[in-house]
Amino acid sequence: MSILFVINPVSGGKSNIDWEAVITEFYSTQQFTINICLLSGENDESSVKDNIEKCSPDIVVAVGGDGTVGIVAKLILGTPIALGIIPAGSANGMAKELEIPGEPAEAMKIIANGKTKDADVIKINDEHICLHLSDIGLNARLIKYFEEGNMRGKIGYASKVMKTLWTKSLMKVNIVAAGEETTHAALMVVLANASKYGTGAVINPGGNLYDGLFEVVIMRRLAFSELLKMWFRPQPFDPKKIRVVKATSVTIETSKKVHFQVDGEYLGKINYLKAKILPAQLKIVVP
């Protein structure tokens, strides 16, 4: 079996782990062909694509955060090549969703011994691929602040959360999903393929990567009772505060441009969004 490891050396801040050495040593006694692709921050997608074509791997492992996972996933979507993940980013949302441990040795064992499952993805505006969670509004603005703040890790997230919550504002959104058109004043709207953010907050208690559906989560109010559910006891939300709609496609329009993110990557402001599910398009190595 051939495995290509795509390593982002600066995921989660400056890493003190020599990933190339750790990976090479771990698999030295196993029957795998190991190849390494180091990302530089320039032309990363092209570099990974070239390495995939050169190595013809059975598995491509993203060693990094959700951004690194996204680069790899986009290139192997709809192919027999499986995605593996060794979490090394700030939030590692997809790894946490899949219950992949943060300990490198344990994650590498899963690559060697795990099984593969065919996960759904969401295609947004015929351009972006969402594996995990995409949203407009409050959280996307938080990510923008985070990227501007030159701070990584939990302290960075905490400071930006406080700033974002302090400046929260409602947006007027028109949503067409599941054969119904509705209008809302909302803090944020989430397209949820998964159940929780990398911080651990459960935004979509019924999230399932393999069911051929995604959920449109409309946060009307950020009530304390719903925050408790997100952080401590996941259960259905009060629909008067947070409404959840199962869908295979959605169209969203806002009265003014709002912040937009996909899988932790801030993508600017938009006032129109359309999305659809692509069932079972991504093979993933899971525990």
| Measured CA distances, 45 to 23, 41, 69, 74 (Å) | 22, 9, 11, 9
Report the DSSP pairing between strands 133-137 and 188-192: antiparallel
- Cβ atoms of 193 and 208 within 8 Å: the answer is no
Residue 163 has pLDDT above 60, yes or no: yes
pTM higher than 0.75: yes
| Measured CA distances, 200 to 87, 227, 231 (Å) | 15, 12, 7
Residue 281 has pLDDT above 60, yes or no: yes
| Residue 201 pLDDT level (bands cut at 50, 70, 90) | confident
What average pLDDT is seen over the chain?
A: 89
Percent of the chain with pLDDT over 90: 68
Query: What does the pLDDT average to over 184-195?
Result: 95
pLDDT of residue 9: 85
Residue 276 has pLDDT above 70, yes or no: yes
In this structure, what token pair is assigned to residue 51? 């390495």
The pLDDT tens digits of the residues spanning 32-86 come to 999 999 998 889 999 999 999 999 999 999 999 999 999 999 999 999 999 999 9
| Residue 241 pLDDT level (bands cut at 50, 70, 90) | confident
Higher pLDDT, 244 or 154: 244
pLDDT of residue 236: 75
pLDDT of residue 169: 77
Percent of the chain with pLDDT over 70: 91
Domains of the chain are: 2-113 (3.40.50.10330), 128-279 (2.60.200.40)
